[in-house]
Structures are given as C-alpha cells and as structure tokens.
Structure 1
Amino acid sequence: MTNHPLGDEIYTAYASGALSAPMRLLLDAQAAVNADVAQARDVVETMAGVLLEQETPASMMPDALATLFDVIDSEEAGLGEAGPARFDSRAGSERSRNAASKAGQAIEELLNLPDPVRDLALDQGGWSFAGPGVRNMTLLNEDGAKAELIRIEPGRGVPHHGHDCTEFTLVLTGGFSDGRASYGPGEVCMANPDTIHKPVADEGEVCIVLAVTDGPLAFTGALGWIQRALSR
C-alpha cells in the first residue's frame, strides 16, 4: 500500500493553530488510526510549545489580570445557578446512540470510527445518496474547505472526476484503489487539479473515508455535463 504523508507544512500549521477545522479533523482522525502520525503530530505540538515559552513575554497593563478574572466571573454567572455544565460521557454516548438509531444508521459502523469523526457523524442527520453504492455525509464547512464522510459498498466506486482543488482522502475502514495506487486504513490519498481518478472500494468490506477538499470536484463525462449545466 502507498501512503501519502500530509507534509511538514500541514503539521506546522496544525501546531500553530492556522489549519482549517476540516484539515485539523483530517490530521486528528489519521493520528487516531496511525501511531506514526500521532507521534509526529505530538512532536510538532511539543516543539511549538517550547518555542512559545522562549518568546519574550509582551508587557501587560497593570489591571490586565483583574480584568481577566472579571470576564471569567461574568461568563460563569451567565451559566446560571447550576454552574458550569459537566461532561457526562455516558449521557453523550446515549444521545449519540439515540440520534443514530432515529436516523436509521448502521450504528456499529459509526461507533467504530475514530473519536473525532464519530462524534461529528452521530450529530448529523444521516447519509445522503451520492451514486449507486455510495453515500456521503458532510461534517464540516469552513472558508471553502469541506470535510465529509464517504461510504462505498465493496466493488462500487465514486464517479470519475478531476479536481478544482486539493483533496485529501483518509481511509478509515476497508480500502480502495484509484488506478494509481491502493490505500488502506490510516493512509491518505492526495489529489490535485492535475489528478483525474475513479476510487473503487475493495471487495469484501465497506470502505469509509474522510475526504477533505478546499474547493469543488470537477466530474467528467455525462456527470461533468450535468454539473456544468446546473452551475450556469
């Protein structure tokens, strides 16, 4: 299998907080299923923390600390007499299960996804039709960047398409081939505007991927004609 690493630039942007929410989700999800990626992410974050500590502190106004505490007090007061909300993992899990059941989802599939993706997926209304044997579910949209789950039945494929953007596709379960290489769990397929491919899921297991794009896909053939007609 061939893996396409995200690259130092993306790791650095992650550590500095400059990465978009969809791309952060991609890196967090890959780290959850790939120990090497998790280690690389943690190292970069640690280095960023060390560099931040070495920076010369900016001067503060004399009353800056008191002002900060006033803001905190006002925020806590706005929460009401009950005080800050406490996270209850059991309650969250139950709500997630109920939401998935009402949406008619295959709960086991969703619950087996990496934590960062699973929580977002269970909050959505369900899968949408994206072609024979293909379903998708949008998780995040931010400043033109989009993160979505794509579920592909064994032997089925995403329509033949090119790209008006950069697309990163992380395999969460199963695997697929796109005519260039094969990808398995934890691996990322990267495509750019020069790439035209047709990802097809491997036989034997449903393939679920997390796809992050920074622009629209450009379909070819009949689907491309329909896409262009609808965009006029």
Structure 2
Amino acid sequence: MTLISLDDELIAARASGTLSAPMRLLVDTHAVLKNDVAEAAFMSDVMSAAFLESLPAESMADNALDIALAAIDAIEAGAGEAAGTQSISRKAAAEAADSTFFELLNLPEPVRQRALEAGAQWRFAAPGVRRIELMREGNATAELLRIEPGHGSPSHTHDGKEFTLVLAGAFADGIGRYEKGDLCAVGEETTHRPIAEQGEICFALAVTDGSLKFTGALGAVQRFLGH
C-alpha cells in the first residue's frame, strides 16, 4: 500500500473526460482537500482547453441545437429529482434526529452532494462500519465509509485496484497511516486490514474497480458462497 498524490496521468484523464464517474469524484474531492492537486487539475483543464481550441472546426449536424437543448432539459430534470430527494432526506433526518446526517454536512462538497442525492442512508458494512454507495459505473464503484474508532474492515486483498481518500479522522493498517487529505492505493498484491484510530470518527471515500477478497475464516466462507 502506498501513500500517494494523484499522478499526472489520472489528472490528465479527468481533463480529457476518459475517467470513470467514480474516479472523477475521487479526483475532484482530492482537489478540494489538497491545493497542489487543485492546481494540477486546473492547469490540466487549461491545457486541454487550449488543445481543443487548436483543432480545426468541425461542421455541426442540422439538429445539433435540438440535441443540446434536450440534453440540458434532461440534466435539469435530474437535478430537480435530486433536489427533491435531498429535501425529503433533510426533513426525514431532522425528524428522526439522526446526527449522522449532519455529519455529512462537514464533508467535502463533491462527496456531500452525492451522499445527499443518494438519500443519506447509511447501510451496515461491518461492525462499527457503515457505507453509502455514491455511484457505480461499469466495474468502478465509489462508496462513502463511516468507521467508528477501533473498527474497520476484515483483512482482505483485492480483485483490482482500490483508492481510499481520508475525509476526516485517520486509519492505519500496519503498513501505513493515513489522515485527512491522504490518499492510499492498493492492488491485488496487497493484503491489509484498515482500522480507524481512536478519537475522531473516520470518514473515507473508497473507489474500487473490483471486489474485496477476504482472508482467513471469512475468506473461506466467501469462497464457499462463490463470491
């Protein structure tokens, strides 16, 4: 496992529009937490825009305006649905006096917005760990994790890559320690067991492109069930 800053390849992929939606959420959120990432993303956007400006003009289809307006209408309709969901979630959370809802308000804007659009509904992931699935595209999934101090994930490896960005608190896994703004990446070769440190609740954005593979007795059960 490695403590990293986003590399130029990921930032360039974001600017070119080739990143998956979960990975783009990761980059955008990291940019909110780290000035150097924000500056690199801005410069990449500028360079991409300059490159597009240098390309020869392409003729547009006769119905290009109709297509653009229809796309805008679709986006606005989706925003309206999300706003309605958010409003309902706020009211329901307030009526239930759910303090975890208000914890979301302190998280970076890209993650906070997605969590609200998802209904701000925490689901059980493991003892002391809850999750909200934020988005999924192909094999890539982005989840918001809420990890109580002293709790975490069982020991596991991965079918693909996993990026974990700490939004609040800190966790350690015996290999490294990660606090707010830190990003770690693991691959199939790494076995680890992330555990939140004592004190503050750890919130993290996890983006994976494959499933977790548990070790030990839990891994035997997983294999028996065919997962």
* Residue 219 (1) aligns with residue 182 (2): no
Q: What per-residue deviation string (whole Å, max 9, x for no partner) do you get for residues 83-127 of structure 1?
A: x77x79x98874452254467461221111111111121233511
Q: C-alpha displacement at 1:72, in angstroms?
A: 5.2
Cα distance in 2 for partners of 1:159, 1:72 equals 48
> Unaligned regions of 5+ residues in structure 2, if any?
none
Residue number among 185, 189, 192 corresponding to 1:197 in the alignment? 192
* Residue 98 (1) aligns with residue 99 (2): no
SS where residue 222 of structure 1 aligns?
Answer: helix
* Residue 5 (1) aligns with residue 1 (2): no
1:15 matched to which residue of 2?
Answer: 15
1:163 matched to which residue of 2?
Answer: 158
Cα distance in 1 for partners of 2:112, 2:68 equals 32
1:68 matched to which residue of 2?
Answer: 64
Structure 1, 122-131 or 111-120: larger mean CA deviation? 122-131
Summarize the alignment of residues 105-124 of structure 1 with structure 2, pairs less than 5 Å apart.
106-124=100-118
Contact 1:99 1:122 in 2 (8 A): no
Summarize the alignment of residues 28-43 of structure 1 with structure 2, pairs less than 5 Å apart.
28-43=28-43
Cα distance in 1 for partners of 2:136, 2:157 equals 21
| Identical positions, percent | 48
Task: Call closer, same or farther: CA 1:154–1:70 in 2, change over 3 Å.
Answer: closer
Query: Normalising by structure 1, what TM-score?
Result: 0.85
Contact 1:99 1:123 in 2 (8 A): no
Number of aligned positions between the proteins: 221
Instruction: Give 2:91's aligned amino acid.
Output: N
Task: Call closer, same or farther: CA 1:38–1:230 in 2, change over 3 Å.
Answer: same
- The structure with the largest alpha-carbon Rg is 1
Q: C-alpha displacement at 1:71, in angstroms?
A: 4.2
Q: C-alpha displacement at 1:179, in angstroms?
A: 1.2
Cα distance in 1 for partners of 2:56, 2:23 equals 30
Q: C-alpha displacement at 1:189, in angstroms?
A: 0.9
Cα distance in 2 for partners of 1:219, 1:124 equals 27
2:134 matched to which residue of 1?
Answer: 139
Structure 1, 31-40 or 17-26: larger mean CA deviation? 31-40
Root-mean-square deviation (CA), in Å?
2.8
Cα distance in 1 for partners of 2:159, 2:46 equals 35
> Unaligned regions of 5+ residues in structure 1, if any?
none
Cα distance in 1 for partners of 2:225, 2:86 equals 40
